[in-house]
Amino acid sequence: MTAQRQERYGSRLGIALFALLAGFFAALSLDSAAWAATTERVVVNRYSGLAIEGFDPVAYFTESMAAQGLPDFEAREAGAVWRFRNEGNRASFVAHPEIYGPQFGGYDPVDLGRGVTYAGNPRFWVVAGQRLYLFGREENRDAFATEPARFLKDATARWPALERGLAQ
């Protein structure tokens, strides 16, 4: 290989490496529906302002399923916009947000027990002790469902300190 070809090959390698690193960091910064803000006291979608990605928190109790809320039935609570399937669910939530809203602001209680604030996914959920819990991963939901008291003990103990570190 001639010296000129070596120089051209070396610069192409540098450009390729730069492009690869730029793509990697761009992919890290992408936001998806599952990646919610984790600096808020209630998990919200940073673009839409919707809590729990627009799922109806009351439907977990009344219909035993994760159901999308409608823009026609919204309420503001704790700095977030909540959506509901109907006016009855909206009224129930407004009267008792502490009951129907996800516990720990929608953060995964298994990860809270480890000292980490990880946003829960509204598709991975459990109602235990008449309270709604959201999980970031299916494995966490399954582990929690087998022994909720153990995980709640750790999460409840760590939540006050973690909550203080979150934005108001």
Question: Could you read off the pLDDT of 109-128 as tens digits, one per residue?
Answer: 999 999 999 999 999 999 99
Per-residue confidence (pLDDT) for residue 38, from 0 to 100 = 47
Asked if the structure places residue 24 within a domain, the reply is no
The radius of gyration of the chain from alpha carbons, rounded to an integer in Å, stands at 21
- The mean-pLDDT minimum among 13-17, 42-46, 102-106, 147-151 falls in 13-17
Which residues span the domain enclosing 123?
Answer: 52-164
Euclidean distance between CA atoms 61 and 47, whole angstroms? 27
Asked if the structure places residue 7 within a domain, the reply is no
User: To which residue do tokens 């910064």 refer?
Assistant: 29
Asked if the structure places residue 109 within a domain, the reply is yes
* Residue 7 exposed, middle or buried by CB count within 10 Å (0-12, 13-18, 19+): exposed
Q: What angle do CA 73, 31, 151 make, to 5 degrees?
A: 75
Tell me how many domains the chain contains.
1
Per-residue confidence (pLDDT) for residue 8, from 0 to 100 = 54
CB neighbours of residue 18 within 10 Å: 10
Name every residue whose Cβ is closer than 8 Å to that of residue 161 and which is 6 or more positions away in sequence: none
- Is 120:136 a contact under the CB 8 Å cutoff? yes
Asked if the structure places residue 117 within a domain, the reply is yes
Asked if the structure places residue 13 within a domain, the reply is no
pLDDT at 138 over 80: yes
Q: How confident is the model at residue 23 (pLDDT cuts 50, 70, 90)?
A: low
Asked if the structure places residue 89 within a domain, the reply is yes
Residues 130-151, mean pLDDT to the nearest whole number: 96
pLDDT in tens, 51-109: 999 999 999 999 999 999 999 999 999 889 999 999 999 999 999 999 999 999 999 99
- Kindly give the pairing relationship between strand 131-135 and strand 121-128: antiparallel
Asked if the structure places residue 21 within a domain, the reply is no
pLDDT at 48 over 70: yes
Asked if the structure places residue 128 within a domain, the reply is yes
Q: Measured between alpha carbons, how far is residue 93 from residues 57, 66, 74, 161 in Å?
A: 8, 15, 10, 27
The pTM of this model reads 0.76
